[in-house]
Amino acid sequence: GPLLRAIRSLYNRCKSLVRIEGAESVLCPRLNGHGAVTRYYSSDSKDDLHVRYLDGEDSGIVVVGINRPKAKNAINKNLVKMMFEAVEDIKKNKKVRSVILCSLVPGIFCAGADLKERAKMHQSEVGPFVSKARALITELGNLPVPTIAAIDGAALGGGLEMALACDIRISSNTAKMGLVETKLAIIPGAGGTQRLPRVIGVSLAKELIFAARVVDGTQAQQMGLVSHSVEQNNSGDAAYLRALELAREINPQGPIAIRMAKLAINQGIEVDLSTGLAIEEACYSQVIPTKDRLEGLSAFKEKRQPQYKGE
């Protein structure tokens, strides 16, 4: 029946995730001391996004940094294009273990849509652009590896929708967050009406969206919008540094297991428990024949740290 077909489809998706072919890592600028983000200021559209594949002990961590200081990191056509390319590269690269989405501009995560660009669009262009932004955020949410949004400043409208598509959100206590679209007589159009209720509950999400309310990092943690709210530091990257700590916790674990766990959770949360358990079984079956599973057992027996290769 339909359930069996759905499980078979998921089983095939599990297999395809495990067998993703590795891609060459993109050459990216190094981070400065202990993983802190280097700030960039440029009017060149090629600098709107910086993607860094970390190396050494942090190999496997990818940092995606938004860098549009003059536009408060607002989402325009070029940024959407560059982020699509970055997400595609990450998706193809078997060596990636986790992704941190952050800002390279102090005090701002992302102020939402670029309203200056939007004002110049013909009415017929608005719908397709919003659809493209929605598709981008969906692709971000569908990345097979853990994604962490490091919110060190204002995340409003589409900026918060991007963060909501990530698996985990970490903010500074001074960061400001809100879906404020109703102030402009529109509604969240890149997943906000769907993801926010799933994260914080229907009634509270309605309150925030109806009132276009903005909350700070401390309030966001209290309502479950972010997992951690950390005190901001002098360099303005406290949430990023906490996100890096978390990525370093994830890094040593079995990469195929992490991918399967994410898939099982994401698919299972949308269905009844019985179907969810069948999804878990389908995902579990993919880790049984891996070399990493045998390495984990050997390391436990020999009382050493396992060395997982994603095989």
Q: Residues 71, 149, 155, 161: which is the catalytic one?
A: 161
Distance CA 255, CA 99 (A): 13
| Cβ-contact 251, 98 below 8 angstroms | yes
Distance between first and last Cα of the chain: 33
**Residue 158 bears catalytic tag:** yes
**Of these residues, 60, 158, 178, 268, which one is catalytic?**
158
Tell me the torsion sign for CA atoms 8, 10, 15, 20.
positive
161 noted as active-site residue: yes
74, 86, 111, 113: the active-site residue: 113
Cα separations in angstroms, 81 against 66, 146, 196, 277, 286: 13, 22, 25, 37, 33
Alpha helices in 121-254 (DSSP H): 123-141, 158-164, 192-200, 202-211, 217-222, 238-250
Nearest residue to 105 via CA among 156, 42, 158? 42
Q: 86 catalytic, yes or no?
A: no
Is 1 marked active-site?
A: no
Q: Which positions are catalytic?
A: 113, 158, 161, 181
